[in-house]
Amino acid sequence: MRLISLVVGALFVLLTSAGALVASERPRLIVVISVDQLCQDYLIRFGDNFADDGFFRRVEQEGAAFAQCHHRHAFTVTGPGHAVQLTGAYPNQHGIVGNSWFERLTGKDVYCCDDPSVQLIGLPDAKGVSPRKLLVETTGDIMKLASGKRSKVFGVAIKDRVAMLMAGHNADAAFWLEDKENAWTTSTYYRQDLPGYLRVFNTPLPTERLRAQTWELLLPKEKYHNTGPDKNSWENPPKGFTSEFPHVLPGKEKLTPQDFAELALRSPFGNEVTLEGARAIIAGENLGKDGVTDLLCINLSANDFVGHDFGPHSLEVEDMTYRTDRQLGDFLRFLDEHIGSGKWTLALTADHGVAPVVEYAQQFRLPAKRSPLGKTDEVKAKLEARLRDRLSTGSAEKPLVQKVEDYQVFLQQDHPLLAGDGFFTAQTIVRDWLLEQPYVVAAFTREDLIRPGSGKLFQQVQRTFHPQRSGDVLFVLAPYTVPGAKGTTHGSPWHYDTHVPLLLIGCGIRAGRFVQEVSPAAIASTVAELAGVDYPSANAESPLRDALK
């Protein structure tokens, strides 16, 4: 009995000592970086050219890499992909089903962060935005709650929605470059002024110092893996650039400051501006300088702009990846100097990947096609005709289809013919018509999606579906189908859109390469573990325990 008591006592001391040790070694600052549209494919294809002192080599040596990280929702666009990361939830719970969505009541599209009750600092005529449409809390919100607001939480990005959806409801602030003015701003939702450490960058605008700079290839051209013609007709460069290197930014007086900023941010210089803002926040807010863990959320939006314009097999995207590697390597050294080596933790992922440019993919005999269903108005008219035929209604009746957009069909739910079982019948008619179309590989009704189901594709769509914000029939197009006349995009459940990096480095992280499939949503609970707080209420994913010490 005495031996058992001694063993139990020793075990208790061991466990409590380990817990105290973990608490004492928590990071002072956790940084979560989402590199917009960074595909895992780039780490595979471009890895041999990463810099020895860059971010990715350092993660290889000191950090944890999850090579099979996939978004698990179907419609992989920016808003949902960023809301996932620190809520640990999917669109069916966090409510951000798109960058915008159709609102039945008003018959209009609403932006995911619209909020007319607030204003932008210094820009009273701009539309107000806030995170109020996010239906659940983030890990940053839990850190605030657990610490009595002593933890500091910030977000910074070019895009407003990203800074807010990552940082959450109760962040100290989210900062971004407002679309029209391209000046640093925030919302009165968070605070009533712009801090001086960002205000100084606004006069002149943050991008003005980039006038007449040139974006050239970082490495000798023969080292690049994207070897297609630099001069081509399928890329969609922004006005002021061509499809060919070098890309020269205009000098003074050639563009207004606002128009110049639009161009400069669609280059590696956009990430320089963002990371400059991040450094200013860390220094100006004294992040990581007390005994309570702070959180900084950063999005590098410029990678997404370049990817849309030039495509994943362009020299521009490859060069952008190499420059991001070096920029983030410099940022890690800044953290070492300012916070202290071993006193910070950083997680990196992406909100989505991207599809190949259709015309480029076709050269490799891939079944790529642009807008295979035709124009949205044409699809809507064909669905309307099918419904009227099957429901035997005249043309004088008001429309049965309210809206078709973003791979969704919205029915006019208050239509007399859709009362009772008519609504279910109409959903089935729409679904069946969609499944007759050559490039539609799946379609699910509202009734399908509110019930349990199996199959990977069904579950991806189900995680995207929110009863109040989604349509009545959701559908999926075949791989390599892309809307628009030029360039490329994302938004599908296919591998090239879902497969993104998930990398961890710093305090509390065990080095290693892991091959189990995980989701960017696991960042929320992992950050909570590192910060010593509970998980967000709608969290759906376990922490990345293999990578935690």
196, 277, 286, 303, 413 from 272: Cα distances, Å: 19, 9, 21, 12, 48
**Alpha-carbon span 158 to 178, nearest angstrom:** 8
Instruction: Give the pLDDT of residue 399.
Output: 94
Radius of gyration of the chain (CA): 24
Instruction: Give the pLDDT of residue 177.
Output: 94
Q: Is the pLDDT of residue 1 over 50?
A: no
Mean local confidence (pLDDT), 8-18: 40
**ω into residue 250 within 30 of 0, thus cis?**
no
- Domains of the chain in sequence order: 25-362+492-547 (3.40.720.10), 373-477 (3.30.1360.150)
pTM, full prediction:
0.94
> Predicted confidence band at 22 (pLDDT cuts at 50, 70, 90)?
low
**Residues paired with residue 111 on neighbouring β-strands, in sequence order:** 100
**Alpha-carbon span 25 to 293, nearest angstrom:** 11
Cβ–Cβ under 8 Å, residues 405 and 436: no
Q: Is the pLDDT of residue 396 over 70?
A: no
**Alpha-carbon span 295 to 170, nearest angstrom:** 12
SS3 call for 445: strand
SS3 call for 91: helix
Kind and range of the H or E run holding 64: strand 64-66
Cα-based angle 33, 263, 76 (whole degrees, multiple of 5): 45
Kind and range of the H or E run holding 308: helix 302-310
Instruction: Give the pLDDT of residue 393.
Output: 79
Q: What is the pLDDT of residues 259-307, one digit of tens each?
A: 999 999 999 999 999 999 999 999 999 999 999 999 999 999 999 999 9
**Alpha-carbon span 182 to 132, nearest angstrom:** 23
C-beta neighbour count of 483 within 10 angstroms: 16
Measured over the CA atoms of residue 444, residue 447, residue 449 and residue 455, the dihedral's sign is: negative
Q: What is the pLDDT of residues 101-114, one digit of tens each?
A: 999 999 999 999 99
Task: Determine which of 271-275, 388-392, 407-411, 514-518 has the lowest per-residue pLDDT on average.
Answer: 388-392
**Alpha-carbon span 274 to 255, nearest angstrom:** 22
Cβ contacts of residue 501 below 8 Å, gap of 6+?
Answer: 35, 38, 40, 43, 65, 66, 69, 348, 349, 350
**Alpha-carbon span 410 to 469, nearest angstrom:** 10
Alpha helices per DSSP H over 47-102: 55-62, 78-87, 91-94
Mean local confidence (pLDDT), 345-349: 98
Q: Is the pLDDT of residue 394 over 80?
A: no
Instruction: Give the pLDDT of residue 157.
Output: 98
Q: Which two tokens stand for residue 312?
A: 């994943």
